[in-house]
Structure 1
């Protein structure tokens, strides 16, 4: 049936009106952008240059400095907008983007690794290296999360986990090869500053060709978006078309990373905004219109963020602040709003590691606990003996009795507090993760992934960079305050949306991303010496710990332990639903607040004690649940011992692998924990299928 002419005219009229509005916005934003900079040039000077009346100095400033930055913003924004639109279509997931598929993290790691090791790849170049890293991670994340449209949260969790692991490896390289990778830390958040027009001239055509190829696939993308069966019926080779689309999308993201670094959330926000307009603008849902409009929106968002940055921070300060910090903060807010409005099932997810949900016998539990306790002691003894200086048990005995020599005494005086700090932090984070999972009723909602660890890190880094000679107790208080604020924001916003556990995870991811962006902002604005110090601390290092530093973690565990013993049955009920505990007389609101307060106290104390550690609060409770079941009377002590073993092992490896050099414990836990988490997601997807 032929479409009525009036409807067609109305559709094209609204599309034309939207296109005209975006074009006018881009022209106006570009004009404002050209007037911003350190040199004293106003709009009249730029206008004279356009009409051929500018001076030689004006021409040099605009052509060599301001125009490259403007064109980079337009090219990068367009590339990310199109990449996000394509990834959302082929995965049929509204939250897919170069960020959530870890494309940016993979591309960043590839570029940093090549710089760190001094590898020369003339056939690939920086774009090829970034493309290879981004494509590998995107394919991996999509394989874990699936492309059926039902795994919205699973995609975000898979991408976040892989990104955390890749970022950890990147931080290791930045620390070990500081000279070779100088400048790549701030670049890791996305910086539009260009050295002439060479980069735009090289990568601009790449972006244009990729966009043209995707426009040629517009009809196939329309059919894939509707459904695979329908597309196959009409002769579309779904697998081949999807892979081609993903390859082109990753090529666009890689070009953007090469030109300006990993700029966050533009690839998520631009196509999401375009899709929100489809109800008011008929025809925008078709990829022939969606792709160019996503490109225009991406360019407008990035250009607007850069104009906003230079307007608020000033031209001189804006040179030091990555533009990606602004886009990440704004994009995180957008993700929080999107998570509240996106239709998400509130059904409780079954823990992937809940194979032993029914529990084990009392005898088996006691045996398991004894074995874990012995393993903890064994790991602690090994950690005391191993390091840059190898010791014997006799040396430890002499140190305890006060008969050791000065060399052994010096080594053990610094090593023993580090080992105890790792044990306490591991136990605290594992308990915090188990409590968070119980309240959120989501086995994947550990403190690191719902913004609590990020908030604690932001509070501590703020104290490190803003307060000269900050003391340990001030640092501890700042970390605890940051953790509490992050938890309050996440749960307050999630509660207004019905407190669905999936929504909680998405909001937490947004808060975590915003916290990380603010951390980068603080580090880049502080003196150069703070960068290494903050990076080491963000990696979760036990370096320099003394027995004084152990007091907050020990106090937190001592305060929380009796509360958890008393609430062990309430925790079992809270992890089921809201109605069952109410029927049995449990005050849901008060109990939830008390449990969350305990989780915040444990997490803040651990982060203040040894810095940021990821995956501990996720892996330890999962493993404990698989071993002893989900009853919290058994789950909590088992998780605490497993967390202590994990962090102590990671710290020992960090001290011995490259001795006398050292790797922070948090980076090692991420590298160890990420494969386990990937296996959990794969197992969960297999069970769901």
Structure 2
């Protein structure tokens, strides 16, 4: 078996990297007495050595957790990251740290367990209604994880006193000051290993299928619950002790299978070994780079850089699809014969809402309606942000409508297909690449990143003729990769990272009037261009064969729509940040009220998106008065319940 050859080689690599990092530190003699040790000896005995051991323990725990999840769910891309378990623990710890520190008096572990358990329960509830289909489970888990990470990031940004420590912790730092963390994780790993040994035989029965296992006397529901509970405890313990370390639980079982492991006991035995080696090598690279003069950054950020490409590589090998009709409505959407009056009423309502939001406000004594003098004073500050918020919502909604018709998938949106993640990378590349980037350079970089991410996604999936749900999952993988790259950038501690962190949460407060007008003009231009391409948007949902038969050239049509959606998303992301779900909600609502034709659907989506973002901006301004909360947080809080409802409304 190739694992027996690779494992010693990987262990030697990890040891060599660790020795390279430790070459300047003397090894203290036993017994250790801190009073008699030099500073370098203390750093070796209580810093570097426990760090090396805890990397092995954490990697083994994540590898074992991923292997259990993949076996019990019969899903080769399940792991604590893709199922949202680690992000749930992260969100719970961030909220407890900032909102209720007293919850941490008993330690971080109970809070992390509660957050991880809640995320796992939500994902399993969605999966149970869809027959635990692999694609559906991972889509639900990664969307829950992305939402939790976005909320955690926005809440972190709102609390400056915790900012640096939480950013580094969220990246997954393995820095140690004593051996207490090693002792705690060693105990959990020992218990988890015993539990995995006990579960090995029932998991083999479960691999025959739920009906076959029940026929042999296995309580399938109890078995699934016990196995998932073990996996959650292992992953949550790592998150509580070290922070967010992603995709090790995905990589270790995948590597074990590629090296010839075929049996379930073998997978449960080799995945912890390979997970320990993967994390140890990643941490060794971080230490080696730090020794060469590079900036230090959390090891978890480096492991995240591997996860997105690995997940995309595994997609063609993923078995199972969503059940027929799982992503469609439970009844045909209504179709208005005369949508003109409804669209006109929506436009009038949007204008009236904007005027109302201009006039009303909140003062220390409560709510107030501004008089003429105060309105004149506040208008230069309030009008640009309202215009920018509405324009960004319209642009995201148009991009979502285009993407849903392009992919024939009603769950597609800029946030889900990785377009927003690509736009974020474009923004970050400009910030780090130019000494003093201007607004135009940032906007062009953001638009180019969004269009490039979507082009790569379409090129990858088109060559493999993937069904719509695989395209969706590939987009989520791109988003995860973008999130990992941004985490690595921010965790370095460079001053430019704070500009990226501030932008990620989204805010319309600093948009000047010229920028707001430009964004509104771009949204109108995208709307007009999409209307001009309405025939393409009507034919593409019918399938490639039908579209070709009716004379549509697919490559140029797809390229034009990709560029259009990328431009709209990039421009809007400058204001809203990379995650808002407006691009998912607005097209759905537009279809639900009967706007089925492409032109009507696009127009209705733009109006609804503008209204949703106006509501989010109002909430961001008023909920935390006199302080302003991040716009992206409020948009996500509106979008997340909608997304969860969409995923749970079908059996």
Same fold per TM (> 0.5)? Answer: yes
1:682 to 635, 641, 648: 648
How far residue 178 of structure 1 moved from its aligned partner, in angstroms, is 2.5
Of residues 641-650 and 348-357 in structure 1, the stretch that sits farther from structure 2 once superposed is 348-357
Distance 1:468 1:312, change over 3 A: same
Q: Is contact 1:87–1:96 with CA below 8 Å preserved after alignment?
A: yes
Equivalent-residue separation in structure 1 for 2:431 and 2:629 (angstroms): 20
In structure 2, what is the equivalent of residue 69 of structure 1? 51
Give distance in 2, aligned partners of 1:338 and 1:149. Answer: 21
Moved more, 630-639 or 71-80: 630-639
| Deviation, structure 1 residue 391 | 8.4
1:618 Cα deviation from its structure 2 partner? 0.6
Q: Does 1:546 align with 2:546?
A: no
1:462 and 2:440 matched: no
TM-score by length of 1: 0.88
What is aligned with 2:553? 587
Residue 414 of structure 1 and its aligned partner are, at CA, apart by: 0.6
Q: How does 1:22-421 map to 2 (within 5 A)?
A: 22-23=7-8, 25-37=10-22, 40-41=24-25, 57=38, 59-121=41-103, 124-146=106-128, 151-180=133-162, 182-277=164-259, 280-281=260-261, 284-286=262-264, 288-312=265-289, 314=291, 317=294, 320-343=296-319, 351-353=327-329, 355-357=331-333, 359-362=335-338, 365-389=339-363, 395=371, 398=372, 404=373, 407-421=374-388
Q: Is the 8 A contact 1:349 1:442 kept in 2?
A: no
Per-residue CA distance 1:386-420 (angstroms, 9 max, x = gap): 4444887774xx4xxxxx3xx54332211111001
Partner SS state of residue 309, structure 1: helix
Query: What CA deviation, in whole Å up to 9, does each residue of 1:167-222 have, x standing for no partner?
Result: 23312321232314541112112111112211111221112112211211110111
Task: Describe the shift of the 1:622–1:616 C-alpha distance in structure 2 as closer, same or farther (beyond 3 A).
Answer: same
The 3 A distance-change label for structure 1 pair 447 and 147 is: same
Contact 2:360 2:369 in 1 (8 A): no
Superposed counterparts of 1:419-438, under 5 Å: 419-438=386-405
Q: Which moved more, 1:467-476 or 1:173-182?
A: 173-182
Residues 120-152 of structure 1, C-alpha deviations (whole Å, 9 max, x = no match): 347852112111110111111111123877622
Q: What is the total number of aligned residue pairs between the two structures? A: 645
Q: Is contact 1:353–1:622 with CA below 8 Å preserved after alignment?
A: no
Query: Cα RMSD over matched residues?
Result: 2.7
* Gap change, CA 1:637 and 1:206, over 3 Å in 2: same
Quickly say closer, same or farther: Cα 1:562–1:116, change in 2 above 3 A: closer
Any idea what SS the aligned residue of 2:294 has?
A: helix
Match of 2:471 in 1: 504
Contact 2:388 2:517 in 1 (8 A): no
Per the alignment, in what secondary structure is the counterpart of residue 447 of structure 1?
coil
Structure 1 residue 111: Cα displacement: 1.1
Aligned to 1:660: 626
Instruction: Report matched runs for 1:620-635 at 5 Å.
Output: 620-635=586-601
CA contact (8 A) 1:426 1:640 kept: yes
SS state of the match for residue 102, structure 2? coil
C-alpha distance in 1, partners of 2:435/2:329? 46
Residues 50 and 575 of structure 1: is their aligned pair in 2 closer, same or farther, counting only changes over 3 Å? farther
Tell me the SS of whatever aligns to 1:146. Answer: helix
Moved more, 295-304 or 565-574: 565-574
8 Å CA contact retained: 2:46, 2:179: yes
User: 1:664/1:181 Cα in 2 relative to 1: closer, same or farther (>3 Å)?
Assistant: closer
Pair 353,623 (structure 1): closer, same or farther in 2 beyond 3 Å: farther
Q: Is the 8 A contact 2:398 2:527 kept in 1?
A: no
Q: How far does residue 338 in structure 1 lie from its aligned partner after superposition?
A: 0.7
CA distance in 2, matches of 1:119, 1:608: 33
Shift of 1:433: 0.6
CA contact (8 A) 1:116 1:181 kept: no
Once the two structures are overlaid, the 10-residue window that deviates more, 413-422 or 372-381, is 372-381
Q: What are the superposed Cα offsets for residues 40-96 of structure 1, whole Å, 9 maximum, x if unpaired?
A: 24xxx66x97999xx955643332121111111111111111111111122222221
What are the ranges of 5 or more consecutive residues in structure 1 without an aligned counterpart?
1-13, 399-403
Give the conservation status (yes or no) of the 8 Å contact 1:354–1:626. no
SS at match of 1:95: coil
> TM-score of the superposition, structure 2-length normalised?
0.92
